Amino acid sequence: MVAALKHVYNHALAASMAARVRLGIGLVVVLVSVAAVVLAGDATTSGDASAQTASAAPTRRALLIGVTEFRQPKLKARSLRGPANDVELFRDVLERAPLSIPAANIRMLKGGDADPRRRPTFANIEREFTELANVSRKGDQIVILMAGHGSQQPADRDPTDEEPDGLDEIFLPEDVEGWDGSIGRVKNAIVDDAIRAWVNRIRNSGAFVWLIFDSCQSGTMARGVEVERQVPMSELIPAAAIAEAQQHASRRATENGAVGLLDSSGDVAALYAAHMTETTPEKPLPNPESPVHGLFTYTIADILSQSATVLTYRELALRVLERYRSMPRYSPTPMFEGGGLDQQILGQQIWPERPQMLLGTQTSSGSWTLRAGSLHGLTAGSILEVFPPAGSSGADIRIGYVKVTAVEPMKAQVVPTAFDNVPAPTAGSLILASRARVRHYEFGDFRLKVGVQVASGPRGAAPSYSSVAPGRGPAVLERALTDLPTKTNGLAERVTGPAADWFVRVIDGKVVLTPSEEWRATAVGQDASSAVPQQFVIGRITEATVAQDLTDALRRIGRARNLMRLAGSAGAGLPLDLTLVRYPSAAQGVGRPLFSKPGDVVMRAGEFAEFRIRNRADRPVDVTLLYVDAGMGIQPLFPLRDREIDNQVKPGEERIVGRFPVTDMPLGWEAVVAIGVESTMTRQNFTMLAQESLDTRRGESTVPLSPLHQLLERAMFGSGVRTRGMDVNAQTFAVKLVTWRTDKAGKQAD
C-alpha cells in the first residue's frame, strides 16, 4: 500500500489565509516520547551538514496586499489602519540585505493608493496572483503577505474540498459586497479555494512560496482591542444559511484535497498571525507615537532586520513565539505549517536537523527550564547540545551540553554537563531562547540489540549461522558496528548471543540484516509452517558505503520498531478509537471492519482501506496517523503535508482517512499507529517520522512475515508493560495500533 500513500502525502497542497486556509482536514498522531525514541536515528552532530543547495540562483518576488477600507457602506465601520503600513514596512525589509528583493520585483496592493490598479480589489488581487504564476520558474522564491479582514461563509458542496464545520474561509478585498442569496456566496469575497488554486499555479512552476497571513477568520479573532481584523459572519450572511451549511458539514478527510499540484511543484511555508480562538492586536509600534502596525507583521519584520545569521522559516516562527512569550500583556499564539519550514528564508538550503527546543529561564536550584518535555521525546538522562538563539551572532557555534534531570509532558529541567570531551558550559552562556537538540537519548530497554553471525557447517550443505563476539566477525562488519551507540545516538548497541534483536550476516557477498526469530504466526491463526523471516539487503560487502548504509538501516529499523513498541506499551488515558474498514472497491459504500471475526487479519491487494478515528474524550485532541509497512517504511496518512495545523479532532467527532488502495508492494505484516495528544494552543504532529522502506528479499512461494512480530504481538494481545522514559500524564495522550497482514490478490474472506 505504500506507493499509494506516498502519492497522497507528496501531493498535499498548501495555501491558507486568515488564521489558516482550510484546504483539507488534518489529523493525528502525536506523542513526544514517540518522537524521542523514533527520531533518535536522525540526530546529527552537525546541523548544516545535511544542507542541500540548488545550483541556479533564484529570482525573488513579492506580492504585498493590505486592505484597510471597504467601499460597501455597511462595512466602512470595519476599516483598519495597519494593513497599508504593514505593506510599506515589509517592502522595506524585503528590499534590504540579506533578503534583497529588487524593488521592481515587489508588487503592492494597498488601501489609499491613488492608482486604481494598485488598490486591493478582487480583480487586482487575482491579476497579481496570475502574473506571479506566469513569470515564476523553478527555484524562484515568492513572498505573499495578506493583511486585512477575514471571515467565513457556507462551504460549497465539492466532495473533494472537505470543510468539517461546513464553512469556507474568506478574505475580504476592498470591493467586497454583501451576501448574494442567488449564488449562496459573499459577493467578491476571495474564498480559500481560490487562494489554493492561485498558489498551486505558482507552486506548479517549481517556485517556493512563503505565505504570511495577518488577518483573522473566526468570530473570536480580532485585530486589536477596539478594531477587529475580522468581520463576523452575522454581518455578511443570514443565520439560516450558516445553520444549513453546518448541518451539511462533511466528516470525511479525503485524499483528493491536493488536486492541482504536480510532482514537480515547489514547497510552501505558511505563517499565521494567531490561533483561531485568539485575537491579534493592531497598535502603534514600536511606541505609542509610531504608525499603527499588525503585531505579527511588525514582529516578523523586526526579527528579520535584527538577525545576524540566516534563519529558516521554522526558526523565524519560533522566534516570534518566544518574543510573544516575553510580552507582559496579552499576546496571541502564532501558527505555522508547510513542507518548506526547514528551508532558509528566500534561499535554497534546507536544515531539517537544526535545533528547535528552546531554553527557558534559570531556576533557583541551578537548573534551567526547557520548553519541551516527554511529549517531545525527552527522557531523564538524555543529553542535549545547546546553541545560541536563532539569528544571533555565532548561532551555529555550540555552547556546550546539558542533561535532562526531570521531565513533565510539556517542559523539562536541564543542568550543564560535560559530554564527548567537551566541558560543561558556564551558567552565563545559557541564555533565554538558546536552542537545543538531542545528542543522546537515554532509552533503557528501547535500545536495538544487534549481533553478528557467521556461516558454519560442512561444505555443500545449507549453512547455519552462529553468533560471534566483538572482533571475531568480518572486518567490514566490525568496523561498521564499532561504537554503535554513538553512531545511532544511543538507539542501538552491539551484543553477543541470543539476546540480539537483529543479526548481521554476509550472504553471497552481500551484507544482510535478519531478525532474531520468526513471527509466532499461530497467535493470529496463520499456518506456522509458512513462516519465513524477512531480510533486508544492505549492499555488497565490497561497496565503500556499506558501513554507513548498515548504520542508516539500523536507525530506520529502530524508528519503526520503537514506534510500534510505544504503541504497545504507552498509556491510553484519552479515549481514542482507531478502526480499519476494508472495501472491495473504491466505490462500494458499505465496508467491513477488520477483526470482525476471529482470525480476520488479512488485507488483500486490490482492496481498499479506510481508517476511522473517533475522539471519545471530553476535550479536543491533536492526532497523527502513521502507516508502518513491512519494509520498515513510515508514511504519514494524517495530517497531510502543508496542512499540519489542521489536525484537531473535537470531542465526539469522527474523522475518516482514506480510502487507500491496497497493493502487493510490500507484502507482510503492516500497521497503522494513531497517536493523540490533548490539544493546546500550539498544535503538534509527528509527520516528521516519515522514512523510506528498506530493500527486501523474500521467498517466492511463501508469504513474507514482518520482523516486527514481537512488537505487534505485544500490542495486539496486551503483553506490554510500561517502559522507561514514558513519564507523562497518562490522561493527556493515547497511542492506538491496528495491524494486518497484506497478502496477494484473492477472494476476500466472508
Taking alpha carbons only, the member of 499, 454, 495 closest to residue 474 is 454
Q: Which of 321-335, 558-572, 701-715 has the highest mean pLDDT?
A: 321-335
Residue 572, beta-bridge partner list: 734
Confidence (pLDDT) at 444? 65
* Three-class DSSP category at 737: strand
Domain boundaries, the chain: 59-337, 357-440, 445-557, 571-743
Single-letter amino acid code for the residue at 56: A
Contact 71, 175 (CB under 8 A): yes
Q: Which 8-state DSSP code applies to residue 650?
A: -
Q: What is the pLDDT of residues 298-348, one digit of tens each?
A: 999 999 998 888 899 988 988 888 888 777 665 677 888 888 888 999 998
Strand locations in 518-575 (E):
535-540
Confidence (pLDDT) at 40? 47
Is the model more confident about 325 or about 104? 104
* Three-class DSSP category at 494: strand
Task: Give Cα separations from 121 to 108, 126, 128, 199, 227 (angstroms).
Answer: 12, 9, 11, 18, 21
Q: What is the pLDDT of residues 154-208, one digit of tens each?
A: 666 554 445 444 576 788 899 988 776 666 678 888 888 888 889 989 999 999 9
Compute the mean pLDDT over every residue in the chain, rounded to the nearest whole number. 74
Task: Give Cα separations from 584 to 455, 590, 629, 745 (angstroms).
Answer: 45, 9, 21, 11
31 confidence band (pLDDT: 50, 70, 90): very low
Residue 147 has pLDDT above 70, yes or no: yes
Confidence (pLDDT) at 218? 30
Residue 696, beta-bridge partner list: 536
Contact 489, 383 (CB under 8 A): no
Confidence (pLDDT) at 367? 93
Which uninterrupted H or E stretch holds 210?
strand 208-214
- CATH assignment of 571-743? 2.70.50
Q: Name the fold adopted by 357-440.
A: Thrombin, subunit H (2.40.10)
Q: Which 8-state DSSP code applies to residue 312?
A: B
The conformational region for residue 595 under phi > 0 = left, psi -120 to 50 = alpha, else beta, is left
∠ Cα 494 632 563 (to 5°): 75
* Three-class DSSP category at 499: coil
Confidence (pLDDT) at 333? 78
The span from the CA of 626 to the CA of 628, in Å, is 6
The arithmetic mean of pLDDT across residues 86-108, rounded, is: 95
Is the model more confident about 729 or about 449? 449
Q: What is the pLDDT of residues 528-540, one digit of tens each?
A: 333 334 678 888 9
DSSP 318-356: HHHHHHHHT-SS-----EEE-TTTTBBTTSS-B-TTS--
Take residue 130 and report the three cell numbers written for it.
496570475
Confidence (pLDDT) at 26? 23
Take residue 415 and report the three cell numbers written for it.
543542568
Confidence (pLDDT) at 728? 36
Taking alpha carbons only, the member of 308, 314, 300 closest to residue 267 is 314
The span from the CA of 38 to the CA of 192, in Å, is 35
The span from the CA of 629 to the CA of 583, in Å, is 19
Q: Which of 274-283, 578-587, 708-717, 726-735 has the highest mean pLDDT?
A: 578-587
Residue 571 has pLDDT above 80, yes or no: no
Residue 145 has pLDDT above 60, yes or no: yes
DSSP 91-142: HHHHHSTTT---GGGEEEEETT-SSGGGS--HHHHHHHHHHHHHH--TT-EE
The Cβ of residue 446 has, within 10 Å, a number of other Cβ atoms equal to 25
Q: Which of 223-232, 335-344, 349-358 has the highest mean pLDDT?
A: 335-344
The arithmetic mean of pLDDT across residues 600-619, rounded, is: 87
Q: For 560-594, give one letter per residue: b (16+ CB within 10 A) or e.
A: bbbbbbbbbbbbebbebebbbbbbeeeeeeebeeb
The arithmetic mean of pLDDT across residues 355-377, rounded, is: 82
Confidence (pLDDT) at 560? 77
* Three-class DSSP category at 59: coil
DSSP 684-723: ---GGG-BPPPPEE--SSS--B-TTHHHHHHHHHT-----
Q: What are phi and psi of 678, to 5 degrees?
A: -55, 130
Q: What is the pLDDT of residues 231-280, one digit of tens each?
A: 544 455 555 544 554 444 433 333 333 335 677 788 999 888 876 656 67
Confidence (pLDDT) at 603? 82
Q: How many residues does the chain have?
A: 750
∠ Cα 38 44 49 (to 5°): 135
The span from the CA of 233 to the CA of 213, in Å, is 19
What strands lie across the sheet with 654-661, from one edge to the other?
252-253, 654-661, 608-615, 576-583, 592-593
| Beta-carbon contacts of residue 96 (< 8 Å; ≥ 6 apart) | 305
Strand locations in 595-692 (E):
602-604, 608-615, 621-628, 634-638, 648-649, 654-661, 668-678
Task: Give Cα separations from 185 to 153, 220, 227, 242, 696 (angstroms).
Answer: 7, 22, 25, 11, 54
Q: What are phi and psi of 198, to 5 degrees?
A: -65, -45
The span from the CA of 649 to the CA of 615, in Å, is 6
Contact 375, 387 (CB under 8 A): no
Single-letter amino acid code for the residue at 1: M
Residue tagged 483539507 (cell numbers)? 24
% pLDDT > 90, the chain: 23
Q: What is the pLDDT of residues 470-517, one digit of tens each?
A: 888 888 888 888 888 888 877 788 988 778 888 999 988 999 988 876
The span from the CA of 255 to the CA of 660, in Å, is 8
Confidence (pLDDT) at 598? 64
The span from the CA of 680 to the CA of 621, in Å, is 9
Taking alpha carbons only, the member of 19, 106, 5, 22 closest to residue 65 is 106
Contact 133, 202 (CB under 8 A): yes
Confidence (pLDDT) at 614? 93
The span from the CA of 142 to the CA of 101, in Å, is 10
Q: Which of 576-585, 664-673, 705-714 has the highest mean pLDDT?
A: 576-585
Q: Domain 59-337 classified CATH 1.20.1440.230?
A: no
Confidence (pLDDT) at 722? 28
Q: What is the pLDDT of residues 194-221, one digit of tens each?
A: 888 899 899 999 999 999 988 764 322 2
Contact 345, 417 (CB under 8 A): no
The span from the CA of 689 to the CA of 697, in Å, is 24
Region of poorest pLDDT, from 218-232, 476-490, 648-662, 710-724: 710-724
Taking alpha carbons only, the member of 637, 528, 552, 623 closest to residue 255 is 637
Residue 422, beta-bridge partner list: 419
The span from the CA of 642 to the CA of 562, in Å, is 26
Q: Judging by beta carbons within 10 Å of its beta carbon (0-12, 13-18, 19+), is residue 286 exposed, middle or buried?
A: exposed
Residue 43 has pLDDT above 50, yes or no: no
Is the model more confident about 717 or about 88? 88
Contact 340, 352 (CB under 8 A): no
Taking alpha carbons only, the member of 386, 264, 277, 265 closest to residue 332 is 277
The Cβ of residue 191 has, within 10 Å, a number of other Cβ atoms equal to 21
Q: For 526-539, give one letter per residue: b (16+ CB within 10 A) or e.
A: beeeebebbbbbbb
Confidence (pLDDT) at 383? 92
Residue 44 has pLDDT above 60, yes or no: no
Distance of CA 304 to the CA centre of its chain: 24
Residue 133 has pLDDT above 90, yes or no: yes
The arithmetic mean of pLDDT across residues 599-608, rounded, is: 82
